[in-house]
Chains A and B, each alone.
Chain A
Amino acid sequence: DAGVIQSPRHEVTEMGQEVTLRCKPISGHDYLFWYRQTMMRGLELLIYFNNNVPIDDSGMPEDRFSAKMPNASFSTLKIQPSEPRDSAVYFCASRRGLSLGGGNTEAFFGQGTRLTVV
Protein backbone atom coordinates (compact mmCIF):
# COMPACT_ATOMS: atom_id res chain seq x y z
CA ASP A 1 0.00 0.00 0.00
CA ALA A 2 1.25 3.51 -0.76
CA GLY A 3 0.31 4.78 2.66
CA VAL A 4 -1.70 7.88 3.44
CA ILE A 5 -1.39 10.33 0.57
CA GLN A 6 -1.80 14.04 1.04
CA SER A 7 -1.80 16.80 -1.52
CA PRO A 8 -0.44 19.29 -2.07
CA ARG A 9 2.81 18.95 -0.07
CA HIS A 10 3.22 22.71 0.02
CA GLU A 11 0.68 25.47 -0.44
CA VAL A 12 1.29 29.20 -0.38
CA THR A 13 -1.75 31.40 -0.61
CA GLU A 14 -2.83 34.96 0.06
CA MET A 15 -4.97 35.90 3.00
CA GLY A 16 -8.65 35.67 2.17
CA GLN A 17 -8.27 32.90 -0.39
CA GLU A 18 -9.88 29.50 -0.11
CA VAL A 19 -7.55 26.58 0.54
CA THR A 20 -8.40 22.91 0.06
CA LEU A 21 -6.20 20.15 1.44
CA ARG A 22 -6.70 16.59 0.26
CA CYS A 23 -6.16 13.19 1.78
CA LYS A 24 -6.38 9.61 0.57
CA PRO A 25 -6.37 7.17 3.50
CA ILE A 26 -5.02 3.66 3.46
CA SER A 27 -7.48 1.26 1.89
CA GLY A 28 -9.51 -0.60 4.49
CA HIS A 29 -8.98 1.94 7.24
CA ASP A 30 -12.26 3.18 8.63
CA TYR A 31 -10.97 6.04 10.77
CA LEU A 32 -9.55 9.23 9.33
CA PHE A 33 -8.04 12.09 11.32
CA TRP A 34 -6.99 15.63 10.48
CA TYR A 35 -4.27 17.17 12.66
CA ARG A 36 -2.60 20.56 12.64
CA GLN A 37 0.97 21.04 13.81
CA THR A 38 2.47 24.40 14.83
CA MET A 39 5.45 25.39 16.91
CA MET A 40 3.24 27.12 19.42
CA ARG A 41 0.51 24.53 19.88
CA GLY A 42 2.13 21.27 18.84
CA LEU A 43 -0.03 18.56 17.29
CA GLU A 44 -3.75 19.25 17.55
CA LEU A 45 -6.59 17.00 16.47
CA LEU A 46 -9.02 18.99 14.34
CA ILE A 47 -11.63 16.41 13.37
CA TYR A 48 -12.01 12.70 12.82
CA PHE A 49 -14.30 10.48 10.79
CA ASN A 50 -15.49 6.93 11.23
CA ASN A 51 -16.89 5.23 8.15
CA ASN A 52 -17.02 8.62 6.40
CA VAL A 53 -19.11 10.20 9.16
CA PRO A 54 -17.68 13.09 11.20
CA ILE A 55 -17.57 11.96 14.83
CA ASP A 56 -15.84 14.77 16.67
CA ASP A 57 -15.11 18.17 15.19
CA SER A 58 -14.56 19.95 18.49
CA GLY A 59 -10.98 20.67 17.51
CA MET A 60 -11.92 22.67 14.44
CA PRO A 61 -10.83 26.19 15.35
CA GLU A 62 -13.50 28.25 13.60
CA ASP A 63 -16.33 28.15 11.13
CA ARG A 64 -13.80 29.02 8.46
CA PHE A 65 -12.66 25.40 8.70
CA SER A 66 -14.69 22.57 7.23
CA ALA A 67 -13.96 18.94 6.44
CA LYS A 68 -15.72 16.37 4.33
CA MET A 69 -15.33 12.72 3.55
CA PRO A 70 -17.55 11.91 0.58
CA ASN A 71 -16.31 8.33 0.35
CA ALA A 72 -13.95 5.90 2.05
CA SER A 73 -10.98 6.88 -0.07
CA PHE A 74 -11.03 10.66 0.01
CA SER A 75 -11.28 13.53 2.45
CA THR A 76 -10.83 17.28 2.21
CA LEU A 77 -10.08 20.01 4.71
CA LYS A 78 -11.13 23.44 3.53
CA ILE A 79 -10.27 26.85 4.95
CA GLN A 80 -12.33 29.76 3.69
CA PRO A 81 -11.25 32.51 4.02
CA SER A 82 -7.67 31.71 5.00
CA GLU A 83 -5.70 33.86 7.45
CA PRO A 84 -1.98 34.09 8.25
CA ARG A 85 -2.53 32.37 11.62
CA ASP A 86 -3.70 29.28 9.74
CA SER A 87 -0.12 28.73 8.57
CA ALA A 88 0.88 25.29 9.81
CA VAL A 89 1.54 21.74 8.72
CA TYR A 90 -1.67 19.78 8.33
CA PHE A 91 -1.53 16.02 8.70
CA CYS A 92 -4.02 13.42 7.71
CA ALA A 93 -3.90 10.01 9.41
CA SER A 94 -5.90 6.82 9.13
CA ARG A 95 -6.28 3.56 10.99
CA ARG A 96 -8.42 0.48 11.25
CA GLY A 97 -11.10 0.24 13.92
CA LEU A 98 -10.71 -1.44 17.25
CA SER A 99 -8.84 -4.72 17.23
CA LEU A 100 -10.53 -7.90 18.41
CA GLY A 101 -9.01 -7.40 21.83
CA GLY A 102 -10.18 -3.81 21.97
CA GLY A 103 -8.05 -0.73 22.01
CA ASN A 104 -6.54 1.58 19.51
CA THR A 105 -4.50 0.30 16.63
CA GLU A 106 -1.83 2.68 15.49
CA ALA A 107 -2.55 5.56 13.16
CA PHE A 108 -0.60 5.96 9.93
CA PHE A 109 0.27 9.50 8.96
CA GLY A 110 0.65 11.20 5.63
CA GLN A 111 3.62 13.42 4.81
CA GLY A 112 1.64 16.52 5.62
CA THR A 113 0.74 19.72 3.78
CA ARG A 114 2.76 22.76 4.72
CA LEU A 115 0.40 25.73 4.41
CA THR A 116 1.67 29.29 4.34
CA VAL A 117 -0.84 32.11 4.27
CA VAL A 118 0.70 35.49 3.44
Chain B
Amino acid sequence: AQSVTQLGSHVSVSEGALVLLRCNYSSSVPPYLFWYVQYPNQGLQLLLKYTSAATLVKGINGFEAEFKKSETSFHLTKPSAHMSDAAEYFCAVGGSSSGSARQLTFGSGTQLTVLP
Protein backbone atom coordinates (compact mmCIF):
# COMPACT_ATOMS: atom_id res chain seq x y z
CA ALA B 1 0.00 0.00 0.00
CA GLN B 2 1.17 3.52 -0.65
CA SER B 3 -0.03 7.00 0.16
CA VAL B 4 1.08 10.60 0.00
CA THR B 5 0.33 13.51 2.31
CA GLN B 6 0.97 17.06 1.23
CA LEU B 7 0.96 19.44 4.18
CA GLY B 8 -0.71 22.71 3.33
CA SER B 9 -3.21 22.93 0.50
CA HIS B 10 -2.23 26.59 -0.05
CA VAL B 11 1.19 28.20 0.30
CA SER B 12 1.95 31.86 -0.33
CA VAL B 13 5.44 33.29 -0.68
CA SER B 14 6.84 36.61 -1.79
CA GLU B 15 8.72 36.86 -5.05
CA GLY B 16 12.37 36.07 -4.35
CA ALA B 17 11.62 34.13 -1.17
CA LEU B 18 12.29 30.46 -0.51
CA VAL B 19 9.67 28.00 -1.69
CA LEU B 20 9.10 24.92 0.49
CA LEU B 21 6.32 22.47 -0.34
CA ARG B 22 6.02 19.49 1.96
CA CYS B 23 5.39 15.89 1.04
CA ASN B 24 5.39 12.80 3.23
CA TYR B 25 4.87 9.34 1.84
CA SER B 26 4.02 5.87 2.96
CA SER B 27 5.07 2.84 0.98
CA SER B 28 5.48 -0.84 1.73
CA VAL B 29 8.30 -1.11 -0.81
CA PRO B 30 11.21 1.20 -1.63
CA PRO B 31 9.48 4.17 -3.16
CA TYR B 32 9.89 6.05 -6.37
CA LEU B 33 8.80 9.65 -5.82
CA PHE B 34 7.72 12.38 -8.19
CA TRP B 35 6.76 16.04 -8.16
CA TYR B 36 4.40 17.31 -10.84
CA VAL B 37 3.30 20.87 -11.56
CA GLN B 38 -0.04 21.89 -13.02
CA TYR B 39 -0.54 25.34 -14.50
CA PRO B 40 -4.09 26.64 -14.95
CA ASN B 41 -6.04 24.74 -17.57
CA GLN B 42 -3.09 22.48 -18.29
CA GLY B 43 -2.19 18.86 -17.67
CA LEU B 44 0.37 17.72 -15.13
CA GLN B 45 4.02 18.16 -16.05
CA LEU B 46 6.90 16.34 -14.39
CA LEU B 47 9.20 18.56 -12.32
CA LEU B 48 11.56 15.91 -10.96
CA LYS B 49 11.72 12.32 -9.80
CA TYR B 50 13.59 10.25 -7.23
CA THR B 51 14.58 6.76 -8.33
CA SER B 52 17.18 5.84 -5.66
CA ALA B 53 20.20 7.13 -7.57
CA ALA B 54 20.78 10.21 -5.40
CA THR B 55 18.88 11.59 -2.45
CA LEU B 56 19.03 15.19 -3.68
CA VAL B 57 17.22 15.50 -6.97
CA LYS B 58 17.35 18.53 -9.21
CA GLY B 59 14.48 19.27 -11.55
CA ILE B 60 13.39 21.86 -14.03
CA ASN B 61 12.89 25.57 -13.33
CA GLY B 62 15.33 25.59 -10.41
CA PHE B 63 13.37 23.19 -8.21
CA GLU B 64 14.94 20.41 -6.20
CA ALA B 65 13.79 17.85 -3.67
CA GLU B 66 15.55 15.77 -1.08
CA PHE B 67 14.58 12.22 -0.22
CA LYS B 68 14.84 11.55 3.51
CA LYS B 69 14.07 7.95 4.32
CA SER B 70 14.19 8.45 8.08
CA GLU B 71 11.53 11.13 7.82
CA THR B 72 9.63 9.51 4.92
CA SER B 73 9.70 12.90 3.28
CA PHE B 74 10.33 14.33 -0.17
CA HIS B 75 9.95 18.09 0.22
CA LEU B 76 10.19 20.37 -2.80
CA THR B 77 12.24 23.56 -2.59
CA LYS B 78 13.33 26.46 -4.71
CA PRO B 79 15.69 29.14 -3.34
CA SER B 80 13.98 32.11 -4.96
CA ALA B 81 10.36 32.17 -6.08
CA HIS B 82 9.36 33.67 -9.39
CA MET B 83 5.92 34.86 -10.37
CA SER B 84 5.80 32.16 -13.03
CA ASP B 85 6.05 29.48 -10.32
CA ALA B 86 2.45 30.11 -9.30
CA ALA B 87 0.71 26.80 -9.96
CA GLU B 88 -0.52 23.68 -8.23
CA TYR B 89 2.08 21.11 -7.24
CA PHE B 90 1.47 17.42 -6.75
CA CYS B 91 3.65 14.88 -5.02
CA ALA B 92 3.28 11.25 -6.13
CA VAL B 93 4.63 7.89 -5.03
CA GLY B 94 5.04 4.70 -7.01
CA GLY B 95 6.28 1.26 -6.06
CA SER B 96 9.69 0.08 -7.19
CA SER B 97 9.30 -3.68 -7.21
CA SER B 98 7.80 -5.67 -10.03
CA GLY B 99 5.12 -7.00 -7.72
CA SER B 100 3.88 -3.61 -6.60
CA ALA B 101 1.16 -1.41 -8.02
CA ARG B 102 1.92 0.01 -11.41
CA GLN B 103 0.09 3.25 -10.90
CA LEU B 104 1.17 6.39 -9.12
CA THR B 105 -0.64 7.61 -6.03
CA PHE B 106 -0.98 11.38 -5.94
CA GLY B 107 -1.22 13.75 -3.02
CA SER B 108 -4.05 16.26 -2.81
CA GLY B 109 -1.94 19.05 -4.21
CA THR B 110 -0.55 22.37 -2.93
CA GLN B 111 -1.53 25.62 -4.59
CA LEU B 112 1.45 27.97 -4.64
CA THR B 113 0.78 31.70 -4.81
CA VAL B 114 3.67 34.09 -5.43
CA LEU B 115 3.13 37.61 -4.17
CA PRO B 116 4.83 40.59 -5.85
Binding site for B on A (CB under 8 A): 4, 31, 33, 42-43, 45, 48, 50, 55-56, 91, 93, 98-99, 101-104, 106-112, 114
Q: How many residues of B contact A (CB 8 A)?
A: 27
A56 B103 Cβ-Cβ under 8 A: yes
The 5 closest A-B pairs by CB, nearest first: A104-B94, A109-B43, A103-B96, A109-B44, A42-B108
Chain B residues with CB below 8 A from A109, complex form: 36, 43-45
CA distance A33 to B46 in the complex (A): 16
Contacting residues, chain B, for A98 (C-beta < 8 A): 98
- A4 and B94 contact, Cβ closer than 8 Å, known pairs A55-B102, A104-B104: no
Residue of A nearest to B105 (CB): A45
Beta-carbon contact of B43 and A111 below 8 Å: yes
Q: Mostly helix, strand, loop or mixed at chain B's interface?
A: loop
Docked complex: B87-116 residues within 8 A CB-CB of A: 90, 94-98, 101-109
CB distance from A53 to the nearest CB of B (A): 12
Known: A33-B103, A104-B102, A104-B104. 5 other contacts (CB 8 A): A45-B105, A48-B103, A98-B98, A103-B32, A111-B43
| A99: chain B residues within 8 A (beta carbon) | 51
Provide a sorted-by-A list of 9 A–B residue pairs whose CB atoms are within 8 angstroms.
A33-B103, A43-B108, A45-B104, A48-B102, A91-B43, A102-B97, A104-B95, A106-B46, A109-B44
**Does B25 reach chain A (CB closer than 8 Å)?**
no
- Could you tell me if A111 and B104 are in contact, using CB atoms closer than 8 angstroms? no
Instruction: Select A43's contact among B51, B52, B109, beta carbons within 8 Å.
Output: B109
By beta carbon, the residue of chain A nearest B107 is A42
